[in-house]
Amino acid sequence: METIRGTIDHIIYKNEKNGFTVMQLVENETICVGNLAMTEAGETVELTGEFTFHATYGHQFKVESFQTVEPEAGVDIERYLASGAIKGIGAALAKKIVDRFGTDTFRVMEEEPERLSEIKGISDRMAMEISDQINRKRDYRRAILFMQRFGISLSLATKIYTYYGEEIYEILDTNPYRLAEDIAGVGFLTADEIAVKAGIRRNSEFRIRCGIRHILLQAAQEGHTCLPRELAVERSVELLGTDQTGVEKGIMDLVLERKLILHENEGKEMVWLSRYYYMELRTAALLKKLDLAIEETDEDIALDLSIIERELTMELEESQREAVKNAVRHGVFILTGGPGTGKTTTINAIIRLFERQHKTIFLAAPTGRAAKRMTEMTGTEARTIHRMLEVNGGAEEGTVGMFERNESRPLEADVIIVDEMSMVDISLMSALLKAVPIGARLILSGDANQLPSVGPGSVLKDLIKSNAFVMTRLKTIFRQAEGSDIVQNAHAINEGKDVDLEKKSKDFFFLKRYEVDDIIRLTVRLVRDELPGFVGASSMDIQVLTPTRKGLLAVGRLNTILQSNLNPADAKKNEIKQGERLFREGDKVMQNRNNYKRDWEIKSKYNYTIEAGSGIFNGDLGVIRRIDLYNRTVTVEFDEERISTYEEKELEELELAYALTIHKSQGSEYPAVVIPLIKGSRLLMNRNLLYTAVTRARKCVCLMGDEKVFHEMKDNTLEQERFSGLLSRLLEMEN
């Protein structure tokens, strides 16, 4: 390692989020690269690192660590002040100040700022503003360096200081667990690591309360909106390594502060994070408020339907006609049914009828792919629910103001139709209902036998179980679907009936393989060589679906293998590594978390921005279009032609998507799916999972593995229990 000292001539590039900086020193015009946040042109710095040679950009000094030092010479002080670092001081004024105070300039600015007004052009007010800027910069640097002693990264330290300011010293000294409550991206485990370095006791009340909240947040990631009190206590004791008495007291303290809610649910005392309890309560109340009866005569509806049937050159089945009538006559209506039962046809008829009544109709779905498919099937534009509600990129997830559309500014629609409702979690449902105006019809469509939402809650199943709203369940498989073994076998799986795996089908295959290596080789061959021509699609459009993130057929392992075969290394394709993962131009990727602040834009063929917005969400699929090795950025094009650029440290939000877990495939449809199966957890390898995987395919399903595993999954009706309170809240309102 070498140490060099110099004055920053100018900043060539700076990433404000992660601190990566490219700058040039005055001395020898040395180019320096590294994490150099808090540096500005004109400052004097001491840098530790090593000289390297970059094939494109030449000789550079790669910085490992640095510190700013006060300029010692008057010329260096003048250069710093003239750089624009201090608002209001330009080159001429900088010279006057240094001519007057020389090397004592900074001391005067900090300790005797009123003396600056001795210089012509500086008023008393301006003198104090200059001093304030100098002190703020000094305080910011001091706080960042202080937080780095606790292992807090630069980007996180900046976020923390922005939120707390000078209060951060007291917080880290007394209760670092406040960070987990106040700062997005800081959880219990991070706060706990900081607390250990700060010397906080392991049995601290702050630690216990933060740990309890962490357990309930973890439960939300598993799909629960609440937990039985006994289970919450048990998990908290295990996490904290403390006694039950302390945890029980922590729960009651949080209840008294209204941060937790205790309530009986179906004879069991349950504990909620208050936000989820009120989301469920609000959802039940708003649905009941929207569920108005609307007078429409049978004759008027029948007349409209006869005209629509002629226009669509088809005849609706009786249950479909019933569904249309229910949609017209009720403020809230639920449409459900399996594949091939005519949900799309029914929705089309509902749309056409409301169009005849000159109603404004909005169509929405939880994901970009589901919205795109809805648009293709109905001929009417559909959007994601997030886009319909107009995500506010300035707000954190779950906060007031996350969506522009709400009770203060409701959606300007008479009819709102939401498809793929099985994917909608309680947070999104609560936000949607706040934006639905009283008097509008809300039509919710979905297959309750699909996997539940990735987020917390079991919204569609709870709505159906409650019998609180009018519902039509479509059961008849229509002629055009009768010839599809995908549809027939999906229904057989759902009903637990036998599936003939020996049948030579045109769209449903089971290939027996018993060794993992054989399964993987066959998966690659099918996706790369055989299925594209068979279904008339590219290999990138064919989706591998796996039940698990762990084991020999884990999604990560499959993605690495598929990447090397479908998008191999090429000198013409840039690559970038993030941890153990490698991303390459042309890779198929998926967003793995909700990021309401992530900017995107849609561009014309002439590269003009024609639409811009914010919000890329868990499960959104895209392709890496460009990797900029100099700026260390990755540009991804997602569904709906939305383009978003990721900084290097943000790549943890992305993962390869040649293979997906079946859970992450919800709401999407692919020309063909390949499903490798080996024995796994009985709780996971169930009928629900198999049914969801099979129904993702439009033209071809190819399963492979041990046929015993297939039959075990089909016969296994065990599902992981989801703890939620929406059903109880709906039933309470019925009574």
280: left (phi over 0), alpha (psi -120 to 50) or beta: alpha
- Among 286, 587, 338, residue whose Cα is nearest residue 445: 338
Cα–Cα distance for residue pair 464/466, rounded to 1 Å: 5
Indicate the pLDDT class of residue 343, thresholds 50, 70 and 90: very high
What is the DSSP secondary-structure string of 17-70?
TT-EEEEEESGGG-EEEEE-TT--TT-EEEEEEEEEEETTTEEEEEEEEEEEE-
Q: Is the pLDDT of residue 630 over 60?
A: yes
- Among 494, 584, 535, residue whose Cα is nearest residue 697: 535
Indicate the pLDDT class of residue 83, thresholds 50, 70 and 90: low
Instruction: Specify the residue for token string 């049995």.
Output: 203
Asked if residue 322 lies in contact with residue 305, where contact means CB atoms within 8 angstroms, the answer is: no
Contacts of 86 (CB under 8 A, 6+ apart): 130, 133, 134
- CA-to-CA separations, 655 to 130, 173, 318, 524, 711, in angstroms, rounded: 47, 37, 46, 19, 31
- Among 198, 205, 229, residue whose Cα is nearest residue 215: 229
Structure confidence by residue, pLDDT tens digits, 513-565: 999 999 999 999 999 999 999 999 999 999 999 988 888 889 999 999 999 99
Q: How many other C-beta atoms lie within 10 A of the C-beta of residue 649? A: 18
> Which backbone phi and psi does 597 adopt, to 5 degrees?
-95, -5
Give the pLDDT of residue 401: 57
3-state secondary structure of 482: helix
Q: Is the pLDDT of residue 634 over 60?
A: yes
Give the pLDDT of residue 600: 93
Residue 477, token pair as written in the block: 């498989």
How far separated are the first and last CA of the chain, in Å rounded?
75
Q: Is the pLDDT of residue 396 over 90?
A: no
Backbone Cα Rg of the chain: 30
Q: Is the pLDDT of residue 255 over 90?
A: yes
Give the pLDDT of residue 146: 83
Instruction: Specify the residue for token string 């999604």.
Output: 555
**Model's pTM, two decimal places?**
0.80
Longest distance between any two alpha carbons in the chain, whole Å = 96
Burial of 28-39, coded b for 16+ CB within 10 Å and e otherwise, reads eebbbbbbbbbb
* Chain length of the chain: 735
Structure confidence by residue, pLDDT tens digits, 484-509: 899 999 999 999 999 999 988 989 99
Give the pLDDT of residue 426: 96
Structure confidence by residue, pLDDT tens digits, 25-54: 887 788 999 877 777 787 888 888 899 887
